[in-house]
A and B are shown apart, each in its own frame.
Chain A
Amino acid sequence: MFKLLNQFNHKAEIRESQDEMLVGEIVRAMARQGHPAVAFRAHSDRQAMRFKTIRDPVLHSVWITLDRKTGTGALSQAVLGSKATLRIMAEVKNRMTDPDDVLKMYQTDLANMFKMPALGGIKLNHELNSVYATMTSVIEIQRYVMKGQPGVDALVLLLDASIDKLRDKLAPFKKA
């Protein structure tokens, strides 16, 4: 009876931990690309990590936020799956900013007020020396965790493609 109870609890724990497993795989995938993690803000169902893109010619850092929406219980996982929003925000940092840049920032911020990043669009945001591009998508966590190497490969593909898109969007804002 004691063993059975422990087994049940263990299964529930592993089911609830799938978003953390994905976080671990993201950290490892980014480290293999040469982007070490430099910040963690993590609690229950929401984890945010910042990675320093050391050798990237355009990007200064990338924030990845995983926010689990469904699948913590056995029933919700069976019905809805393990859905989460994956928000990737890339940052370009310039060493100098002048008043012309500030004017451009207001124009871009105004244009971005009507964009919906949840639908896959890229949203830009200027903050003096930094320009950010953000992309949000809804993912199925189980596609990437506990699937062995194919799951890891799919995750790397997703991260690479997203970061490439953000880099292209930010490249015009990078000053020499």
Chain B
Amino acid sequence: MCAALPPPPAPDEELVHVETSAGRVGPLSPNQLKFQLAMGKLGDNDRFWIAGMEDWLRLGDHKAWLRGEAVPAPAQAAPAPAPTTPAPAPPAPPPQALPDIVPPPDPLAAAAAMANDDPVVMGSVGDFSAHVEPGSAEDNRLDGIFGGLVTASWDYYEALAFAGHIDEVFLGAIITSTLDSGCALIDISSDGTHHYLRFEDLEDQSRIVVRMTHLTPSLAQARVLGQRASVVMGYGERVGNFQQIWKALKAEYKSGLVASPEPGTITVDGDLSSGYVYVQVDLFLSIDDYVGDDYRIDYTKLQDHLAATHNALRKYLRGRFC
């Protein structure tokens, strides 16, 4: 068991001994210790000792005290496991009470203060161009940090890519779902942002049309608004005679008067050469509802929504033109 923690040494007094898994470090001054903590070179499980302490203590339990940010720790500090090697006998601290370390208010000021007051600290501890023995514990630790930076960069890169192509994942899901319902894809065009699909049920010759534009292709937009797409869903059938097509063409002309369709607006399109009449509706879909971050697709929900839309459009078309 250790006794009460002694007052922390002065900022430039190299009195703190630290034992890490890679070996012993120090003695360090509180300034040097601060720098190594800030750089992540010392971990919570590393232990420290200064003159006046009976035993080694975990850094993680007393970081604030070591940084001089708090009054000395309570009288009975938590016990720590015995060190593998006994602590050296560093010189005893001066008998007079030392003032607490008062950290500057921000890290930049701290760095500037260290550079001005104690250039040796910057040169010896913060010199990241110093040679590190290949294969040493320090080398492995730095490799780990570098690997983490590369991995984090790839994660960001993948997130950017995902935000840009989630609409195409959704498009693929629409193709798969519609083919599963018995249709064949008969037309596709895409430039990466604007997509057009046309399907035909080869038995009854009814057609499904999907026109989609990705509205939130950037990661920032997607994070704020969610993944949104403007989708025009259409349903078409071959109608029996010229009169019905003519009626559809008149409706198509009226549809042309709708300058900017709003959600739920139904428009009509007639194709004289093939004899098809299409009715279509404008929707805004949230792609996140169907495609997960891990590319999993909720086919049940997608098929349900497609079926509901086609059913409504089919009823409208048959009620109006057939």
A149 at the interface (CB under 8 A from B): no
A135 at the interface (CB under 8 A from B): no
Tell me if A21 and B185 are in contact (CB < 8 A): yes
**List of A residues within 8 angstroms of B242 by Cβ:** 2
Tell me if A10 and B150 are in contact (CB < 8 A): no
Tell me, rounded to whole Å, the shortest Cβ–Cβ distance linking A146 to chain B. Answer: 7
**List of B residues within 8 angstroms of A14 by Cβ:** 186, 200, 202
| Number of residues of chain B lying within 8 A (CB) of chain A | 38
**List of A residues within 8 angstroms of B200 by Cβ:** 14, 17
**List of A residues within 8 angstroms of B169 by Cβ:** 36-38
Tell me if A24 and B274 are in contact (CB < 8 A): no
* A-binding residues in B (CB < 8 A): 150-151, 154, 161, 165, 168-169, 171-173, 175-176, 179-180, 184-192, 195, 199-200, 202, 205, 238, 240-242, 273-275, 294-295, 297
Q: Which residue of B lies closest to A129 (CB)?
A: B154
Tell me if A39 and B179 are in contact (CB < 8 A): no
**List of A residues within 8 angstroms of B190 by Cβ:** 40-42
**List of A residues within 8 angstroms of B165 by Cβ:** 38-39
A96 at the interface (CB under 8 A from B): yes
Additional 18 contacts, C-beta under 8 A, given A21-B185, A36-B173, A37-B175: A6-B273, A17-B184, A17-B185, A20-B186, A24-B175, A27-B172, A27-B175, A31-B176, A32-B176, A36-B169, A38-B161, A39-B168, A40-B171, A40-B192, A40-B195, A41-B191, A52-B295, A96-B150
Tell me, rounded to whole Å, the shortest Cβ–Cβ distance linking A144 to chain B. Answer: 12
**List of B residues within 8 angstroms of A42 by Cβ:** 188-190
**List of B residues within 8 angstroms of A146 by Cβ:** 184, 202
| Number of residues of chain A lying within 8 A (CB) of chain B | 34
Q: Which residue of A lies closest to B205 (CB)?
A: A10
Tell me, rounded to whole Å, the shortest Cβ–Cβ distance linking A12 to chain B. Answer: 9
Partner among B192, B199, B295 whose Cβ is within 8 Å of the Cβ of A36: B295
Tell me if B172 and A37 are in contact (CB < 8 A): yes
Tell me if B172 and A36 are in contact (CB < 8 A): yes
Known A41-B191, A95-B154; judge A36-B185 contact (CB<8 A): no
A133 at the interface (CB under 8 A from B): no
Partner among B171, B192, B205 whose Cβ is within 8 Å of the Cβ of A37: B171
Tell me, rounded to whole Å, the shortest Cβ–Cβ distance linking A9 to chain B. Answer: 5
A77 at the interface (CB under 8 A from B): no
Tell me, rounded to whole Å, the shortest Cβ–Cβ distance linking A29 to chain B. Answer: 9
Tell me if A31 and B173 are in contact (CB < 8 A): yes
**List of A residues within 8 angstroms of B273 by Cβ:** 5-6, 9
**List of A residues within 8 angstroms of B186 by Cβ:** 13-14, 17, 20-21
Q: Which residue of B lies closest to A27 (CB)?
A: B175
**List of A residues within 8 angstroms of B205 by Cβ:** 10
**List of A residues within 8 angstroms of B154 by Cβ:** 95
Tell me, rounded to whole Å, the shortest Cβ–Cβ distance linking B238 to chain A. Answer: 7
Interface residue ranges of A81-102 to B (CB < 8 Å): 95-96
**List of A residues within 8 angstroms of B202 by Cβ:** 14, 146
* Complex alpha-carbon distance, A52 and B169, angstroms: 9
Tell me if B192 and A41 are in contact (CB < 8 A): yes
* Complex alpha-carbon distance, A47 and B161, angstroms: 21
Tell me, rounded to whole Å, the shortest Cβ–Cβ distance linking B56 to chain A. Answer: 38
Known A2-B241, A41-B192; judge A13-B274 contact (CB<8 A): yes
* Complex alpha-carbon distance, A146 and B200, angstroms: 12
Interface centre among B187, B192, B238 (most CB of A within 10 A): B187
**List of B residues within 8 angstroms of A2 by Cβ:** 241-242, 275
